Structure 1
Amino acid sequence: MSLVFPHTFVPWFRSVAPYIHAYHGKTFVVGMAGELIAAGKLNAFVQDLAIIHAMGIKLVLVHGFRPQVNEQLAAKGHPSRFSHGQRITDAPALDAAQEAAGQLRFEIEAAFSQGLPNTPMANATVRVVSGNFLTARPVGIVDGVDFIHSGVVRRVDSPAIRRAIDIGALVLLSPFGFSPTGEAFNLRMEDVATSTAIALQADKLIFLTEVPGIRENPADPTTDIDTELVLAEAKRLLATLPPAEQPSDLGFYLQHCVKACEEGVERSHILPFAVDGAILQEVFTHDGIGTMIVDEKLESLREAGPDDIGGILQLIEPFERDGTLVKRDRTEIERDIDHYTVIEHDGVIFGCAALYPYPEARTGEMAALTVSDAVQGQGDGERILKRVEQRARATGLDSIFVLTTRTMHWFIKRGFKVVDPEWLPEARKRKYNWDRRSQVLVKNLK
């Protein structure tokens, strides 16, 4: 039996809580490459999806089956043929795709039906719904190549999918669509997942793939993964790449992520299935593990509003409890909310500070400067400080000051100087807690 250490588990679980709150009731479309199943990672992945489902997130899972169809065709002595990044589906290939899809749906539904004690699936109840949710049309003939039974998505029955996920079911889509005449077409998993995410206006489109994401320098495989790409940057990168025909090509998944974001999906992700728990790390940690494409800069530094009160309280509470900050009640924050600046990441507040001006002394107090432990050391505190300085200058203040008992050196490194408490404006001096013995530090803004 594994041991749980409260001193690590409790802070970790609390750090995850903001994402649980933020994503409850949201819709995720997950595209799973067939290579994930071929690599023997289905059970672990299903366990992770069951956890996400238990958090109240609505899920649509689209499976691929490229290696499984290749295997079926090889067993029958029939070659696999591709062009323009898509399978040429002749009659034998269509039969192989149908057999592979049936087998994979059986395996996926079986995996979601597990419930052995002492496993992540214990007490899990995930009802899987499949059906003819996709209408397709043939690809036709492209550059002289007849794709025969290969198709593209024409329509997604989003109302039916929405009804299913709204009652708590997980919708499983195979890459097959049907024409109004009943003809079956083999589709690409990536097209199905992207079209479904757009039709549902999903909150996230997530691809679990054989690639780790987009590197900061795509030409250098040793550089780190770029965890966030603004849509405009992603489009510029895509424009420099050759047409992507293989899943390993840099633009193969990127092109679908870009399309999804252009058409209303808030965020799209490229994750490596080779990393155990990749989807949990991406969804429930600050920086994630793969590449996320967003329509606007994910991290927002802005002035606070009434909707931020709960997030600020949740952020500062641990620091009040350990004595780093003076305790502030909800009424006080509600009254002073227009004084606050916040830094928001993916809908969760990770940092804040308040500016209380004393115009008669041409100075202002920066109070409650807080950055979550989850993002310590990433420069968010300095970014908030700079924004507060801008606000102070804009209101005609010549300096700002802080009172602190524990973080004096951080402020000194950023241009603050220690002064005697007698320096404080008269109105602030009357409220100074001499028992707390806070250090007073001042920064000149002129």
Structure 2
Amino acid sequence: MKPTDLRGILQYVPQFRDRTFVVAVDGAVVTDENFPNLLLDIAVLRSLNIHVVLVHGAAAQIEALGREQQVQPSNLDGDGVTDAATLRLALTASNRLTHEILEGLAATDLRAACPNAIVAYPAGILHGIDQLYTGKVERVDTELLETLLHHGIVPVIPPLGFDGEGHTYRVNSDSVAVAVATALKAVKLIFVTTRDALEHAGKPIRQILVAELEQLLAQQPEGFPRELVSKARHAAAACRAGVHRVHIINGRIHEGLLAEVFSNEGVGTLVYADEYQQIRRALKKDARTIYALIQQAMATDELMRRSRASIEKQIGDYYLFEIDRNPVACVALHVYPEEGKGELACLYVKPSHENQGIGRKLIHFVENRARELGLRMLFALSTQTFMYFQTKAGFVEGTPDDLPPARREKYEQSGRRSKILIKPL
């Protein structure tokens, strides 16, 4: 691991320390060759004092066991009818898988246990069809799970539930994960699948607000691949139940869990329950961050060169665009009050966050700020992105005469021959 990777992780630790993540792993992921690496990722989370509950499915194992025993399962994922033969398959497959996971966690020096923490009841008769041994989660024994977590033990929860009469029911693992995450007030629910991300109409979704996801599910459910519909519905349900961040990642990607949790870009899909983006005024301590953020753009002459000291001197003019409190873009508004003009400067968005509308949000923010200050015109200087300002932000080409005298002098001395762009307010 590079030192920069470690610094990237450590910036997240304060907000996650002593909090709970629920990791929901599809059965097909457990049999993948990368699964031991996923368990190592969980060991890293535990080393950072992050509590982890691991929920697993068993659909792939039930299907394989059915072929082995020449039994046709009536239901693979706990969403349909579970007959007696399928329940037996589910019990055998789930118990084997749980034991395999416990062995894997032991190999990473993690203590783990499989508690009977899911209290279930029969799904009953739906649309005139008896669901037999399919169950639904009635409640989660949070006291039991919290006791295990308090003692550093990772609970491993299979897709099974129990009632007070000693009966066992097959329960959909996604719904178990949502119930556990909600009951424990988890800060994250992470669905680990064999797909790279949530998709709709053939396009991957990297970030989506829960309201937008619900709209897609209501209006265009056919746009989701069949195997991802459950993830989409349960992700939305989790957000509405109080889990603010739900992730969907591919468990076959090496270090995918850490990359998703400890970076702004992630590797899968983030479904979030609130607006987790904000623009804020930069503080003196942010000068280093801004300088590091724009270094690449200065090296390619996209932005005018400026020193860290000059940024710090004018830090009150700068604003940062943050995602989960991590800066991914910046902009500055330099004010010339005597002329009633303002310069929109140092607009930069990290390449990993381009084409997401962040640049336009920052321009709109600066325009509103300029109006609040009573300015009559904005201007910007650009050598490479002038078309963006003209086509996306409504600027038009101006002349050196449009610049305040002090700024015109610097413009002529720089020799950059930037295009001058103006926008009346």
Contact 1:325 1:368 in 2 (8 A): no
1:56 and 1:329 map into 2 onto residues whose CA distance is 40
Alignment correspondent of 1:149: 133
1:220 counterpart residue number: none
Counterpart Cα distance in 2 of 1:440 and 1:80: 69
2:186 to 202, 205, 209: 202
What amino acid is the match of 2:169?
A: F
**Residue 281 (structure 1) aligned to one of 259, 271, 292:** 259
SS in 2 for 1:287: coil
- The equivalences for 1:259-338 within 5 A come to 259-298=237-276, 300-304=277-281, 309=283, 312-313=286-287, 315-318=289-292, 324-327=305-308, 336=316
What 5-or-longer segments of structure 1 have no aligned partner?
116-124, 218-222
Tell me the equivalent position of 1:170: 154
2:28 corresponds in structure 1 to 35
Q: What is the 5 A alignment of 1:347-386?
A: 347-366=325-344, 369=347, 371-372=349-350, 374-375=352-353, 380-381=358-359, 383-386=361-364
Within 2, Cα distance between the matches of 1:309 and 1:162?
Answer: 39
Q: Distance in 2 between matches of 1:277 and 1:265?
A: 23
CA displacement, residues 288-317 of structure 1 (integer Å, 9 cap, x when unaligned): 33332222444x34344xxx7498356225
- Cα deviation code 1:353-375 (max 9, x no counterpart): 34353423312355665544654
Letter in 1 for 2:212: E
Q: CA deviation at 1:383?
A: 3.7
Map 1:2-401 onto structure 2 (within 5 A).
9=2, 14=7, 18-20=11-13, 22-82=15-75, 86=79, 88-115=81-108, 125-217=109-201, 223-240=202-219, 248-298=226-276, 300-304=277-281, 309=283, 312-313=286-287, 315-318=289-292, 324-327=305-308, 336=316, 340-366=318-344, 369=347, 371-372=349-350, 374-375=352-353, 380-381=358-359, 383-400=361-378
Relative to 1, partners in 2 of residues 1:140 and 1:48: Cα closer, same or farther, differing over 3 Å?
same
| Structure 2 residue identity aligned to 1:315 | T
Counterparts in 2 of 1:373 and 1:255: CA distance versus 1, 3 Å: closer
Distance 1:243 1:11, change over 3 A: closer
Quick check: 1:401–1:441 contact (8 Å CA) kept in 2? no
SS at match of 1:312: helix
Write the distance in 2 (CA, Å) between the matches of 1:232 and 1:15: 30
Deviates more, 1:274-283 or 1:226-235: 274-283
Alignment check: 8 A CA contact 2:332 2:344 kept? yes
Distance 1:32 1:278 in 2: 13
SS of aligned partner of 1:152:
strand
Letter in 2 for 1:399: M
- Hey, what's the Cα distance between the residues in 2 that align with 1:329 and 1:54? 40
Do the aligned partners of residues 101 and 85 (structure 1) sit closer, same or farther apart at CA in structure 2, a change above 3 Å counting? closer
In structure 1, what is the Cα distance between the partners aligned to 2:267 and 2:23? 16
Contiguous gaps of at least 5 residues in structure 2: 299-304, 390-394
Residues 84 and 409 (structure 1), Cα distance of their counterparts in 2 relative to 1, 3 Å cut? closer
Q: Could you say what secondary structure the match of 1:126 adopts?
A: coil
TM-score normalised over the length of structure 2: 0.79
Query: What is the rounded CA distance, in whole Å, between the counterparts of 2:135 and 2:61 in structure 1?
Result: 19
Counterparts of 2:285 and 2:354, CA distance in 1: 17
Query: 1:204·1:265 contact (CA, 8 Å) conserved in 2?
Result: yes
Q: 1:240 to 1:442 in 2, by over 3 A?
A: closer
Tell me if structure 2 keeps the 8 A contact 1:367–1:402: yes
SS in 2 for 1:254: helix
CA distance in 1: counterparts of 2:185 and 2:50, whole angstroms: 14
Aligned to 2:423: 445
Q: What is the count of residue pairs matched by the alignment? A: 411
Write the distance in 2 (CA, Å) between the matches of 1:351 and 1:329.
18
CA distance in 2, matches of 1:184, 1:43: 29
Between the aligned partners of 1:26 and 1:146, the Cα distance in structure 2 is: 40
Q: Residues 442, 285 of structure 1: CA spacing in aligned structure 2 closer, same or farther, 3 A cutoff? A: same
Structure 2 residue matching 1:86: 3-state secondary structure? coil
| Counterpart residue type for residue 30 of structure 1 | V
After TM superposition, give the deviation of residue 241 of structure 1 in Å: 5.4
Contact 2:342 2:370 in 1 (8 A): yes
CA deviation digits over 1:365-420, x for unaligned, max 9?
A: 556655446546766445423421331133221334679xxx75446973576859
1:196 offset after TM fit, Å? 1.0
Distance 1:311 1:113, change over 3 A: farther
The letter for the 2-side match of 1:169 is I
Q: Which moved more, 1:246-255 or 1:46-55?
A: 246-255
C-alpha deviation, 1:177, in angstroms? 1.9
Cα distance between partner residues in 2 of 1:364 and 1:227: 35
Secondary structure of the structure 2 residue equivalent to 1:225: strand
Counterparts in 2 of 1:60 and 1:418: CA distance versus 1, 3 Å: farther
Q: Matches of 2:400 and 2:146 in 1, distance apart?
A: 61
C-alpha distance in structure 1 between counterparts of 2:388 and 2:237, whole Å: 45
Q: Distance in 1 between matches of 2:137 and 2:418?
A: 64
Q: Which amino acid aligns with 2:308?
A: K
Question: How large is the RMSD of aligned CA atoms in angstroms?
Answer: 4.1
> Partner of 2:145: helix, strand, or coil?
helix
In 2: Cα distance, 1:27 partner to 1:110 partner:
22
Displacement of 1:178: 1.8
Aligned counterparts of 1:22 and 1:16: Cα–Cα separation in 2? 11
